[in-house]
Amino acid sequence: MTESVADTRGADLAPGTNSSTSGGPSVRSLADADISAAFARGDESALREVYLRWSPLVYTIARRKSSNDADASDITQAVFVAAWQGRQSFDPDAGSLPAWLLGITRRKVADHWRQMNRVPEPRADMPDDPRPDSGIETTVERVLLADELERLGEPQRRILELCFFQDMTHAQVASLLGLPLGTVKSHIRRSLGRLRERLEVDGVPR
């Protein structure tokens, strides 16, 4: 089963979205590490970067787990204020900054429902699962995976979305996109590996 891993066509398909156009796949994680380190040093400007980079994750989880968008904003605000005030307790060696932020998010969501003093109810405008009263870990996982999917670049993202949401086989995907079978298979392998790694790095409760 020797296959070509090289796939220059992928980058050509969607210039500007493939990570290689911004200097290689490691750029994002390097930048994240820089932001985390600056934040851990108490660099005030780093908070802005942290917010820009990770507030969509926090806000989306809060939206899924609260009654309305105003509450989701309040929870998100509480998370970032608490993160700033508690930044000295963030230890970059103990885990990723997003994992730490999501730990605070879990707590602030729980605080929110305690404050409301009632049992969480599903949002009328988001009737689908997960309901707010289902485990928050389900939501955390889905939002992290959705985020990582968006970061995969093309054609990796499209390949996985066809597999996940259209239930296509790799052969069908290859034929639809006009890509070699082996290329599709190795994209699937590497992309699934990235999704799994993202959950391992950022999804573990801290």
Partner 1 sequence: MSRVESPSGENYDEHYDDETIALLALGESVASVDAGHLRACAACQSRIDQMQAVVGSARAITDEDRPMAPPDDLWQRITDEIESDGPVRGKASHHDRRSDTRPRWAGWFALAAAVGVLVGSLGTIVAMDRENPTPTIAQAELEPLPGKDARGVAQVRQTEQGPMLVVDVPGLPATDGYYEVWMLAPDAESMVSIGVLGGSQVNEFPLPAGMDMDRFPVVDISVEQFDGDVTHSADSVVRGELSA
Under rule CB under 8 A, which residues in 77-106 are in contact with partner 1? 77-78, 80-89, 103-104
Count of residues of this chain found to bind partner 1 when the rule CB under 8 A is applied: 75
The yes or no reply on residue 201 touching partner 1 (CB under 8 A) is no
Cβ nearer to partner 1, comparing 12 with 81 = 81
Which residue in 20, 31, 48, 68 binds partner 1 (CB under 8 A)? 48
Q: Is 3 left (phi over 0), alpha (psi -120 to 50) or beta?
A: beta
Cα angle value 144/19/188 (rounded, 5°): 65
Taking the complex as a whole, how short is the minimal distance between the CB of residue 23 and partner 1, in angstroms?
A: 23
CB 105 within 8 A of CB 58: yes
Decide whether 18 or 75 has the Cβ nearer to partner 1.
75
The binder of partner 1 chosen from 13, 33, 40, 149 (CB under 8 A) = 149
Q: Rounded to an integer, what distance in angstroms lies between the CA atom of residue 35 and that of residue 78?
A: 20
**CB-based contacts of 39-46 (< 8 A; 24+ apart in sequence):** 39/87, 39/90, 39/97, 40/87, 40/90, 40/91, 40/92, 42/87, 42/88
Residue span binding partner 1 (CB under 8 A) among the ranges 6-14, 17-25, 26-34, 184-192: 184-192
Does 45 participate in binding partner 1 (rule CB under 8 A)? no
Give the number of other Cβ atoms within 10 Å of residue 197's Cβ.
Answer: 12
174 binds partner 1 (CB under 8 A): no
Q: Which of 73, 42, 41 is nearest to 60 (CA)?
A: 73
| Sign of the torsion angle spanned by Cα atoms 18, 23, 25, 30 | negative
**Any contact of residue 67 with partner 1 (CB under 8 A)?**
no
Contact in structure between 165 and 29 (CB atoms under 8 Å): no
Determine if 129 is a binding residue for partner 1 (CB under 8 A). Answer: yes
Exactly one of 35, 66, 97, 113 binds partner 1 (CB under 8 A); which one? 113
Asked if residue 175 binds partner 1 (CB under 8 A), the reply is no
Binding to partner 1 by residue 51, rule CB under 8 A?
A: yes
Is residue 124 involved in binding partner 1 (CB under 8 A)? Answer: no
- Residue 135 binds partner 1 (CB under 8 A): yes
Direct distance between the N- and C-terminal alpha carbons of the chain, in angstroms, rounded to an integer: 40
**Which position among 4, 8, 45, 117 is part of the footprint of partner 1 (CB under 8 A)?**
117
